[in-house]
Structure 1
Amino acid sequence: MLKILSMLVFLMVAFVTNAQPNTGTKKQIEWISLQEAYNRTQKEPRKTIIDVYTDWCGWCKVMDKKTYGNPVIIDYLNKNFYVVKLDAESRNDISVGGIKYSFDAQKNANQAAIILLQGNLSYPTTVFLDSDFNMIQPIPGYLEAQEFHQIITFIGGDNHKKEPFTQYKENTYKEVFRDLKF
């Protein structure tokens, strides 16, 4: 009888423990549409990052997991940028600021992606727009978390207006973020 009572107590404790709400939610990037980023920029100016990808792109998936999944990256992006994920091969019309972008069958890409990538259809490509939604720079290729952090802090902190990127990496970045672990 004691064994049965002990087993019941154990099961009740296990049930109550497992029924508790999960308070440890995983950090995630607040991805929004291109139109939503444009709308938010009109009300609260902020730079925008656009992750231009395709469903078949392996490096896009790796960057999603390793770079965009890094907590340091997530925190910085959510605080300093509007962040957009744009499928370059989307067949849906994309409207931004009253302009409609359609799928271009000849290039197998949406016109929005073609314009943002300046015709260089390479995936993944990270596109940076200023707070007025003007192009800063597209950066093609996979970026590791630390390299990506250097770039987003360089642009996010307006350091791109003050010094060359190589100088920023060697001096400013090393000084400010020397204790950061990836």
Structure 2
Amino acid sequence: MKNLVLTLLLAVFTVGTVAAQKINWVTLEEAMELQKKKPKKIMIDMYTVWCGPCKMLDKNTFQNKDVVDYVNKNYYAVKFNAEGNDIVKFRGKEYTNPNYDPAKASRRNNAHQLTRLFGITAYPTIVYLDEKGEVIAPIKGYQKPDQIELYLKMFATDDYKELTDQQAFSDYYLAFKPEFKS
């Protein structure tokens, strides 16, 4: 009986821990609506189903407690399949994937119109938007927790507005001390 109780307690604790370490993903439309009530920056994970580094980002970075906590507090997080078939309304326009091929749903497909809008040329790319839905920057590539921390904090605090050239960014980068644990 004791073993059953311990097993159940462990299961509840484990489920609670896993649930606590999830990013609150919403759609782009939901994020824009939420901004009307409580303005925050938006972080869009532009991924594809076939992309290995995208899967690593999900597993290693987007489940990291420090990343999850920081993103949930400071951003509206959007996960978007950049080669999917979603219809998205953004800033008064509708975006689709007119050349989407359902037969290629689990492999390389045609790019969604949002990828052109945000200037996506590689996957994964995380697009950061300000509180008005304007693009701050698309950041390409896989990032570990201590690497994404720089961008999450730089954009959330508006420090990026002071970085007017490459040298200013280099100085910021060199002075940055990551606190997220990998």
Offset at residue 95 of structure 1 (A): 1.8
Mapped contact 1:128–1:137 kept (Cα < 8 A)? yes
Of 6, 17, 21, the residue aligned with 1:25 is: 17
User: Residue 57 of structure 1: CA displacement?
Assistant: 0.5
Amino acid at match of 1:25: T
| Cα offset, 1:59, TM superposition | 0.7
**1:86, 1:19 → 2: CA distance?**
36
TM-score by length of 1: 0.82
- Say yes or no: does 1:83 pair with 2:77: yes
Instruction: Give the AA of the match of 1:162.
Output: E
1:93-172 aligned within 5 A: 93-105=87-99, 108-116=110-118, 118=119, 120-163=120-163, 164-171=168-175
Match of 2:23, SS?
Answer: coil
Secondary structure of 1:17's aligned partner: helix
Partner of 2:103: none
> How many angstroms does 1:136 deviate by?
0.4
Matched, 1:36 2:25: no
Q: Comparing 80-89 with 145-154, which one deviates more in the overlay? A: 145-154
1:61 maps to what in 2? 55
| Number of residue equivalences | 165
Preserved contact between residue 23 and residue 71 of structure 2 (Cα < 8 Å): yes
Root mean square deviation, CA, Å: 2.0
d(CA) in 2 for partners of 1:69 and 1:19?
24
CA distance, structure 1, for counterparts of residue 72 and residue 156 of structure 2: 11
Q: Which runs of 5+ in 1 are unaligned?
A: 1-11
Q: Distance in 1 between matches of 2:174 and 2:80?
A: 32
Runs of 4+ in 1 over 3 A off after TM superposition: none
Post-superposition Cα deviations, 1:87-117, rounded to whole Å, max 9, x if no partner, equal: 011112112344211113188121122212x
Structure 2 length-normalised TM: 0.82
Cα contact 2:125–2:139 (8 A) shared by 1: yes
One-letter code aligned to 2:111: A
Change (3 A) 1:16 1:143: closer
List gaps (5 residues or longer) in structure 2. Answer: 101-108
- Does the CA-based 8 Å contact 2:149-2:180 persist in structure 1? no
Give the C-alpha shift of residue 168 in structure 1.
1.7
